[in-house]
Amino acid sequence: MSDRLANRRQKLLRVVKRLGVDALLVSGETNVSWLTGFTGDSTWLLLGPKVCLLVSDGRYETQIAEECPDLDVVIRKPEVKLHEAAGMSVQSAGIGCLGFESHVLTWAAVDDLQSAVPKVDFRPVSGQVEELRAIKDVEEIAEIRAAVDVAIRGFQVIRAMLTPEMTELHIAHELEQTMRRFGAEGTSFETIVAANDRAALAHYRPSRMPIGDCSMLLIDWGANTAGRYKSDLTRVLLFGKPTKKLVKVYETVREAQQRAIRAIRPGVTCEEVDTQARGYIREQGYGRRFGHGLGHGIGLDIHEMPRLAPNSQTVLRPGMVVTVEPGVYLPDWGGVRIEDDVLVTRDGAEVLSQALPSDIEAMLVD
């Protein structure tokens, strides 16, 4: 593991050189973890050709020693603020030009840092570590596969135990506990369980109302592994005989998703993939009812680079893992979203969640 982390830092050092700064102050919690293996918070990484150290506090002294034995560390005293300790480290390293994660630090935090080291030239840097994180290595892909597998097993159990008396919130809680029993550390995000017209709310929060004799039940869920990698899936269960309208909406969304997945391969832009799904949904008359991006990267965070969305010119590369989740949402009626996790391979794409079918027959509940 230490070699993997060192290789990641070497990749970032090449970015630092290209940016023309003496060092980069990494403050994003997930970015620090990805580069060092440290799993705590309130800790920054100062990385440059001549410096590599963590700036933290006494709460994490032992943890850092265990998780990052090969790294130098500065443990600040309680009366010393984080930006002050970081500033002293910058000064001690003789850094004249410092890059900082402008998409992470607040204006106030940057102002505090500049006050601590007024002679240092600060250079805003955005998304550089995230770009590196977008390409998953073999071990990361294995973690995501495990997260997908646990999520699927949890869903299958919950599907078998559904009753009209269960509430949306009850279902969400049972799903989380079931995934934990299968080895998950928890959920990737707050599980969405939405019955009937509530499925039209893309980020709905489950209620305490029983699902009753619902005709559709949208479940958006994911598992978080011990290594903190995540999965993100959505299925819509159908109860009774679906109406013609429901069949049309469902088949529209599924065909849009399949077209998008077939378009995924190295060298294709994210916008091109999004267009495959969005264009088909528009052709079917539901263009205005698909109001979000087609998908996003997953990994240590549930939303990572790249983004499958209009105007996203990011080029897909092998090792990227993205969700593909088109949806159609009709107010006062309901909504259909189908979501799978997809790995970009050397010659195309692999649906990591293919063990959980999404055809309409598979979604019918007896």
Which three-class secondary structure state does DSSP give residue 73?
strand
For residues 127 and 143, state if they share a domain: no
What's the token pair of residue 277? 């799904």
Q: What's the rounded Cα separation, in Å, for the pair 230 and 161?
A: 25
For residues 126 and 148, state if they share a domain: no
- The answer to whether the CB of 127 falls within 8 A of the CB of 103 is yes
For residues 354 and 295, state if they share a domain: yes
pLDDT tens, position by position, 274-311: 999 999 999 999 999 999 999 999 999 999 999 999 99
For residues 307 and 267, state if they share a domain: yes
Output the pTM of the full model.
0.95
pLDDT at res. 366: 80
In this prediction, the residues of the chain whose per-residue pLDDT falls under 50 are none
In this structure, the chain runs to a length of 366
DSSP states along 17-42: HHHT-SEEEE--HHHHHHHH----SS
For residues 151 and 119, state if they share a domain: no
CATH of the domain at 333: 3.90.230.10
pLDDT at res. 39: 96
Q: 34 lies in which domain range?
A: 2-133
For residues 166 and 193, state if they share a domain: yes
Q: What's the rounded Cα separation, in Å, for the pair 47 and 36?
A: 11
Q: What type of residue sits at position 238?
A: L
Domain boundary among 112, 133, 154: 133
For residues 222 and 319, state if they share a domain: yes
CATH of the domain at 74: 3.40.350.10
For residues 101 and 196, state if they share a domain: no
Output b/e per residue, 69-81; b: 16+ Cβ within 10 A.
Answer: eebebbebeeeee
For residues 224 and 105, state if they share a domain: no
When divided into structural domains, the chain yields a total of 2
Domain boundary among 108, 133, 158: 133
pLDDT at res. 74: 97
For residues 105 and 244, state if they share a domain: no
For residues 82 and 218, state if they share a domain: no
Q: What's the rounded Cα separation, in Å, for the pair 273 and 290?
A: 15
What's the token pair of residue 26? 């990494």
Q: What type of residue sits at position 146?
A: A
- The answer to whether the CB of 235 falls within 8 A of the CB of 363 is yes
Q: What's the rounded Cα separation, in Å, for the pair 366 and 361?
A: 11
Tally of CB atoms within 10 A around 210: 15
Q: Quick one: DSSP state of residue 316?
A: P
State phi, psi for 271 to the nearest 5 degrees. Answer: -65, -40
Domain boundary among 133, 159, 186: 133
Residue 241's contacts (CB-CB under 8 Å, 6 or more residues apart) are none
Q: What's the rounded Cα separation, in Å, for the pair 191 and 222?
A: 7
pLDDT tens, position by position, 88-133: 999 999 999 999 999 999 999 999 999 999 999 999 999 999 999 9
In whole angstroms, how far apart are CA 104 and each of 135, 186, 225?
A: 21, 25, 25
What's the token pair of residue 98? 């410092």
pLDDT at res. 2: 79
For residues 201 and 237, state if they share a domain: yes
Q: Quick one: DSSP state of residue 339?
A: B
